[in-house]
Structure formats: C-alpha cells, structure tokens
Amino acid sequence: MKLEKRRYDDVVILKFSGEFDSANLGTFSPRLDAMIEKGDRQLVLELFALRFINSTALGYLIKTAKRVKELGGEIVIARPSKFVQKTLATLGLESTFLAFGTVEDAIVHFKKGETVGTIDLSKTETDESLTGSVPLLFRKDDDRNLPPNQVGRVVQLYEDGLLFRYEPAPTKGGADPVASELVMGARMKVKFRQPFAVKDHYFEMSGTITEVKKGAVDGAADALTVRLRYDRIRDDDRKHLQQLVRDLETWKIR
C-alpha cells in the first residue's frame, strides 16, 4: 500500500492507494499512532484509490477513530471509492465515519465554514469495478433436478446465519420461479466470499430459511430479504464468520 501525507493548517490528509491489510498494517499503524501522539486530532482519509482493506486493517482504523474522538478530535473520509462505500454499507458501518465527496469539503468541515483554497493532491486512477457488496450463490439443498445457482447479495451476517437479498426477474412464463422456492423452512446451499474474514476463500454451507420479507431492501418492490440459519458448515468457516460478526459489533462507534 502507498500512503501520501498532506497538511492544511492543522488538518492532516492521508491518501491511501492499493491494498491495506495485515501485511502492511505493522508499517502503517505506528505512523498514524505517532501523528496522534504528537497532537494531530483532525484527520482526513482519502480513499478513492483504496482497492482492498481486510478486517484487521478496518478494525484498526475504527478503533483509532474511537480513540481520536475520545481525545476531542475526529477522523473523516473523503472521496470514498465505490468499494469503500459498498463495503461499509454491506457491513453496516456506513455511519461509522462522516464521508465527504472532496478533500476540500472535509477540510471545510473541520474549519467550520472558513474559505478553503485548492488542495494540491495528485489524481490517481483506480479500478472502480470492485464492490463491497458481497455476491452470494444459492440453490435448493435437493438432489432432484437442481436448477443452476442463483445470485443474491449478502446484507448482514449473524453468528448463526446470514441475511441475503434476491431480486426476482420476470420470465416469459410470468413470475420468477426462483422466488417461489424462497419460503420458510426451505433448505438452501449457499456459497460466497467474505474477504474481511478470509481473503481468497469461498464459504460454503447449507441452511434453513427462517424468515422471508418482500420489498424490504433498497426500495425495490419485488426484492426478497431472506434470513438463513446455518445447518451444515465447516468448523473453521463458522469460527471465522463468528469472529467477524463480533469484530463488527466491537468496531461500531456509538
């Protein structure tokens, strides 16, 4: 990961580029800790070029934001990429940091409306095709004439299961037949990645649907929100996901 530091009066701007994970956390965290120890209390994290962040690095930033808040300061983010926006939304952490569309707007926030000149920050191109919204493949846990995997999106993780959404697509024959399979008591096999728990790994498990709601996500009238309780899951996968859920709860700034 590349980190660039800029300063506007008493506001520190930190521009992240690349991937922020456990491998480079040990290099970066002492630098930020030292800034805070020396008295920096107003920090802007520019995240336009951040392509990936894992749970350890994200947890560090959130805990550091709590620490700065206790010291009377604040950490905000600026120019968050689609990856960052959707990652925070997917994990239920979108309210953890104030977010601004530009670095200048973030500085104005700290300057309480004072006129702010142009900040000379070099532009960086990044791949915006990445998203933090986690795709999920699902199908009935049935050996009889199984249809191909369908695609949903993970909305929330729990220690004993998950919540996902599915947006039915009308067919020539009428209603989406997959939607009719998403009912209470139905058994499903699901497969998804959650890089904040384990990078480059697929979680696969089967579970039972315990709740189905219609029109509950993003204002889509036909969208289905489905809660699934894990039945069969590898022990290591369960431990990783449960730890992530606990971390997420700990990280939330109240």
Confidence class for position 205, pLDDT limits 50, 70, 90: very high
Q: Are residues 53 and 121 in the same domain?
A: yes
Last residue of a domain, one of 78, 101, 130: 130
Is the model's pLDDT at 248 over the cut of 50?
yes
CATH number at residue 228: 2.40.10.220
- What is the pLDDT of the chain when averaged over all its residues? 81
Q: What is the pTM (predicted TM-score) of this model?
A: 0.55
Secondary structure in 3-state letters for the chain: CEEEEEEECCEEEEEEEEEECHHHHHHHHHHHHHHHHCCCCEEEEEEEEEEEECHHHHHHHHHHHHHHHHCCCEEEEECCCHHHHHHHHHCCCCCCCCEECCHHHHHHHHHCCCCCCCCCCCCCCCCCCCCCCCEEEEEECCCCCCCCCEEEEEEEEECCEEEEEECCCCECCECCCCHHHCCCCCEEEEEEECCCCCCCCEEEEEEEEEEEEECCCCCCCCCEEEEEEEEEECHHHHHHHHHHHHHHHHHCCC
Give residue 150's pLDDT.
87
Is the model's pLDDT at 208 over the cut of 50?
yes
Closest listed residue to residue 16, CA positions, set 30, 35, 3, 33: 3
Q: Are residues 78 and 141 in the same domain?
A: no
Is the model's pLDDT at 45 over the cut of 70?
yes
Last residue of a domain, one of 111, 130, 149: 130
Q: Are residues 113 and 179 in the same domain?
A: no
CATH number at residue 78: 3.30.750.24
Q: Are residues 218 and 246 in the same domain?
A: yes
Select the highest-mean-pLDDT range: 59-63, 79-83, 128-132, 230-234.
230-234
pLDDT digits (tens, 9 = 90+) for 184-196: 999 999 999 876 6
Q: Are residues 244 and 216 in the same domain?
A: yes
Q: Are residues 210 and 113 in the same domain?
A: no
Last residue of a domain, one of 130, 164, 188: 130
**Domain count of the fold of the chain:** 2
Q: Are residues 54 and 155 in the same domain?
A: no
Angle between helices 55-70 and 235-251 (to 10 degrees): 20
Q: Which residue range forms the structural domain that includes residue 204?
A: 135-250
Average pLDDT for 138-144: 81
Q: Are residues 155 and 201 in the same domain?
A: yes
Q: Are residues 179 and 238 in the same domain?
A: yes
Portion of the chain with pLDDT greater than 90, in percent: 30
Is the model's pLDDT at 153 over the cut of 50?
yes
Give residue 77's pLDDT.
94
Q: Are residues 122 and 184 in the same domain?
A: no
pLDDT digits (tens, 9 = 90+) for 53-112: 877 888 889 999 999 999 999 999 999 888 888 778 877 787 888 999 999 889 989 987
Q: Are residues 122 and 180 in the same domain?
A: no
Give residue 122's pLDDT.
47
Q: Are residues 114 and 146 in the same domain?
A: no
Is the model's pLDDT at 197 over the cut of 60?
yes
Confidence class for position 123, pLDDT limits 50, 70, 90: very low
Is the model's pLDDT at 249 over the cut of 90?
no
Confidence class for position 242, pLDDT limits 50, 70, 90: confident
